[in-house]
Amino acid sequence: MIETTAIQPPVLLTDDQVGGFVARGYHLVEPDFPKGFNEAVFEDIRRLERHPGNGILDAVPRLYEVYDHPAVRGALISLLGEDYRMNPHRHLHENPPGSQSQGWHQDGTNVRHHQVWTVLAMYYPHDVPAENGPTVVMPGTHFRNAPTDRLQTYANLKGQVALTVKAGTVAITHYDLWHAMSLNRAATPRYMLKFLFDRQSPPVRPSWNHSPDADKVVRKWITGMVGSQGYCSDYYKEWELRLEMWRWITGHPTTIPPGAFKDILG
Ligand SMILES: O=C(O)CCC(=O)C(=O)O
Ligand SMILES: [Fe+2]
């Protein structure tokens, strides 16, 4: 008899989680990898003799298990549709002890939009406490196309979030989200595997665990304060943009006239 390993069904996101992604521009997945898995990846990386560039998947084949995990696949299907693809560009980011922090930036070129075509999926094979040089993200900035030279002059931003994560976390971010590597004050390097995933076709219906009551659930994300803690006017200036993204990803190819969110969400 031939034994086959059953492929586990993907764990799709909820309306609340997709709403959170739309408003903040990122979502954290904490897959339940088998005991010892993250440690094994960590060891594989430490044993690499040279940086493999895009060859990291062949150099550390265990990484297939990260991106095939039902929780990771489910999140990617939810945000990019069932036919999403892994992009050939991927990179092992080492943040060595004593590093300088990186400037705020957006990856890719300055062709930005309010849709979800590409995400970064950053996997951390070990715990990343604050002193170990976490990736820092600025919630809500995937809606802001900032000149790269201007971004470089920004330092700590009110409301920035350091991704202090536990081993095995996969941080999925909108491709346009502002982010940066922070300085590593610890004695050990910080590793992060950055993989990109691309949507192949525009959404025609929600590809997550969607309920008919979704609009009630996401209203708090569309109109809630994201990013700066405390009053700032940007949060309501983004309402229309968030709604535009939410409508697009649920399969409504529509442009929202200014102020129309009240008619749509009640
Ligand atoms: O290493 C990190 O935390 C982020 C690195 C990064 O964003 C980059 O090099 O583009
Ligand atoms: Fe980056």
Distance 257 CA to ligand 2 centre (A): 33
Name the closest ligand to CA 180. Answer: 1
Residue of 56, 90, 93 best suited for mutating to test ligand 1, as the one with most atoms within 8 Å of CB: 93
CB 199 within 8 A of CB 81: yes
Rounded to the nearest angstrom, the distance between the alpha carbon of 193 and the centre of ligand 2 is 11
Domain ranges of the chain: 1-266
76: which 2 tokens?
């990617």
The values of phi and psi at residue 253, to 5°, are -80, 75
- Cα of 40 vs centre of ligand 1, distance in Å, is 23
Q: What is the pLDDT of residue 209?
A: 98
Q: Which ligand is nearest to the CA of 106?
A: 2
Tell whether domain 1-266 is in CATH 2.60.120.620: yes
For residue 136, give the ligand 1 atom closest to its CA: 3
pLDDT at 148: 85
Task: Name the token pair of 91.
Answer: 């990179």
Are 90 and 56 in contact, with CB atoms under 8 Å apart? yes
Q: Other CB atoms closer than 10 Å to residue 229's CB: what's the count?
A: 9
| pLDDT at res. 58 | 95
Inter-residue contact 248 to 18 (CB < 8 Å): no
Say what the pLDDT of residue 5 is: 59
Residue with CA nearest ligand 1 atom 1: 181
20-31 burial string, b = 16+ CB within 10 Å, else e? bbbbbbbbbbeb
Which stretches of the chain drop beneath a pLDDT of 70?
1-6, 229-231, 253-262, 264-266
* Closest ligand 1 atom number to CA of residue 179: 7
Ligand 1, pocket-test mutation among 179, 182, 195, most atoms within 8 A of CB: 179
Give nearest CA residue, ligand 1 atom 5: 181
Is any atom of ligand 1 closer than 6 Å to the C-beta of 93?
Answer: yes
User: What stretches of 150-219 adopt beta strand conformation (E)?
Assistant: 161-162, 170-174, 179-181, 190-198
Long-range contacts of 36-44 (CB under 8 A, 24+ apart): 37/62, 37/65, 37/168, 38/125, 38/126, 38/167, 38/168, 39/125, 39/126, 39/167, 41/66, 41/125, 42/125, 42/126, 42/191
What's residue 265's pLDDT? 66
Q: Pick the residue whose CA is nearest to atom 4 on ligand 1.
A: 181
Distance 93 CA to ligand 2 centre (A): 10
Where do we find the tokens 């298990």? 65
